[in-house]
Amino acid sequence: MKINNQRIQLQNIKKKFGNDNVLNSVNLTVNSGEIVGLIGPSGSGKSTTIKILLGMEKADEGEALILEKRMPNRKLLADIGYMAQSDALYESMTARENLRFFGYMKDVAKKELPKEIEYVAEVVDLTNYLDKKVSGYSGGMKRRLSLAIALLAKPKIIILDEPTVGIDPALRLKIWKELAKLRDEGRSILVTTHVMSEAELTDRVALLFEGKIIAFDKPKKLEDEYKVNNIEEVFLKVEGE
């Protein structure tokens, strides 16, 4: 029996908003134990791709599969940790109360939840602010709390839409180290970003431009193929072609 290693599959996804072709035949896979970066400038279609994958938007054509099941599928929600581009937090509650609430929503065992909260808070450097109301958080702190919520319950699939926006470079590096550790534990991670340097930290990178994937491979392989030094130069060269 053949085992399918692909936990995320986007097959020939097309999407229009009015007369605008937002996505044009997008194909993308994420394997178990892999970080895939979806890289592109603002407005290239990254967030729309994520929303179609999660069933929040309907594709005009094509198919979105997670764990070989067509999305949307409520039964898969416990297996997915999702961080949206905009924060959906309860501002009148503390960070700990937010984490506890979302932990219950994700069916984290009651006796395991305090340990889970401490772990995710440490990853995003919020341990000393857990009992502060979210209304008093800065924008960067809210992003970090949203990321902590996505990591709760040790999901098999982690989907992060621009997770490091507003986060300082030192913490960004720490978060990427944690993502690498989760990858090594067998998780499947899809990260969108417009920060080209973050592409170097992925296992494979898909370059999205004007609704099309214009290149998709290991960062080093793309750099060698196009005879350049980094992914940003790959992007510029492929875009020029």
Summarised one tens digit per residue, pLDDT across range 86-107 is: 889 999 999 999 999 999 998 8
pLDDT at position 4, please?
A: 61
Number of neighbours of residue 106 by Cβ within 10 angstroms? 19
In this prediction, residues 204-220 reach a mean pLDDT of 95
Residue 3 in this model has a pLDDT that exceeds 70: no
| Residue 189: partners with Cβ closer than 8 Å, 6 or more residues away | 30, 34, 35, 36, 157, 158, 159, 160, 179, 182, 183
pLDDT at position 2, please?
A: 42
Peptide bond connecting 41 to the previous residue in cis, omega within 30 degrees of 0: no
In this prediction, residues 55-83 reach a mean pLDDT of 92
Number of neighbours of residue 147 by Cβ within 10 angstroms? 24
Structure tokens at 168: 């300082």
In total, the chain counts a number of residues equal to 241
Distance CA 58, CA 87 (A): 22
Banded pLDDT at 238 (limits 50, 70, 90):
confident
List domains and CATH numbers for the chain: 6-240 (3.40.50.300)
Mean pLDDT, all residues of the chain:
92
Q: Is the dihedral of CA 195, 197, 203, 205 positive or negative?
A: positive
Residue 195 in this model has a pLDDT that exceeds 90: no
Residue 49 in this model has a pLDDT that exceeds 90: yes
Structure tokens at 197: 């340097």
> What's the Cα-to-Cα distance from 169 to each of 81, 180, 205, rounded to whole Å?
23, 17, 21
In this prediction, residues 193-220 reach a mean pLDDT of 93
pLDDT at position 63, please?
A: 95
**The amino acid at 216:** F
Number of neighbours of residue 212 by Cβ within 10 angstroms? 15
Tell me if the pTM is above 0.85. yes
In this prediction, residues 194-202 reach a mean pLDDT of 89
Among 32-41, 72-81, 123-132, 181-190, the minimum mean pLDDT is found in 72-81
Structure tokens at 9: 């599959």
